[in-house]
Amino acid sequence: MSGLIKGSENQPIAQQTKLGWILSGPVQSPLQCSVEINNIEDISAYWEVGEIAIASIAMTREEQFCEELYVKITRRLPDGRYEVRLPLKNSFENELGQSKAWAAAQFKQLESRLMRNPHLRDSYQKFMHEYADLGHMIECKERKEHMCYLPHHGVYREESTTTKLCAVFNASSPTSKGKSLNDLMECGPKLQKDIQDLLLRWRIYQYIYTADCEKMYRCILLQEDQQHLQKILWRDNLVDMDRLKEYQLCTITYGMKAVPFLAMRTMQELACDDKEKYPLAAEVLQC
């Protein structure tokens, strides 16, 4: 601040700051100093700004439900992949309305957009072909109660070095009863590390490595009796206007409220299951 008091050459300088007056410089003569604090709230606020919040370890009732369901239901298949279940609320069947008509209308809008942009159309078709070829979605003609159709659209990422276009499935789209699938699903506890904590920990090390789990969500299967809640509409031949086909997604997918929890929890489960075989890898996944 503007306040500045200078004495003789052998005396310190007094500088006014927002936290009060401070003294700096050489001291070669005896001084008598007194300290006066006018605004202790300002000093308290100064320290609280930089404080790292400690996450609560206590789970809510809904979060506890998600954890217990995961432990009870999740199983590992012979090929090493995990099969999980969506943590749906008890009343979801009564509140989940019809969704096919709205999903069909959304798809026709998407179709018009793809017809106007051949490059986007080719990228979208390539993405859907890969989805089917990897077994992440299958054509389904079976009719079940309480089916849910998810509208979808493409997100194009020019900077991506792998998949330029990614289809996003909208589980927040409301059904005829005004409730979406996400509305009828529990979120689960947040298992991701706090970004402030991560940044501070990175400062400890000279070198930092980052890695990405390729198709992380799509490596985790959804139990078959819930796959009808992840139905989509698609037709490959947009020019000849083939009939709309119904597919169901076989893995957890983007746009689902509980998917971040399911993915991170499965990563933890993998580290726990294989820690004896791969102790160093397990330590990295758990830290």
More confident position, 169 or 243: 169
Q: What's the whole-number mean pLDDT along residues 55-69? A: 86
pLDDT of res. 45: 67
pLDDT of 173 reads 93
Tell whether pTM > 0.85: no
Residue 243 has pLDDT above 90, yes or no: no
Strand partners, 16: 21
Q: Stretch 173-192: mean pLDDT, rounded? A: 93
Better-scored residue on pLDDT, 260 or 25: 260
Tokens 């490596």 sit at which residue? 219
Q: Cα–Cα distance between 18 and 251 in angstroms, integer?
A: 56
CATH for 62-206+213-286, among 3.10.10.10, 3.90.25.10, 3.40.50.620, 3.30.2320.50? 3.10.10.10
Nearest CA to 255 out of 95, 124, 148 is that of 148
Q: What is the mean pLDDT of residues 215-240?
A: 88
Query: How much of the chain exceeds pLDDT 70, in percent?
Result: 86
pLDDT at 102: 93
The label of the residue with tokens 């007194």 reads 34
- Give the residue ranges of DSSP H helices in 134-278: 195-202, 259-273
Choice among 8-22, 38-52, 189-203 with the minimum mean pLDDT: 38-52
pLDDT at 35 over 70: no
What band does 192 get if pLDDT is binned at 50, 70 and 90? confident
What pLDDT sits at residue 119?
87
pLDDT band at residue 165, thresholds of 50, 70 and 90? confident
Flag whether pLDDT at 48 surpasses 80: no
Provide mean pLDDT across the span 33-46: 65
For residue 79, CA distances in Å to 21, 131, 173 come to 69, 19, 34
Domain with CATH 3.10.10.10 in the chain: 62-206+213-286
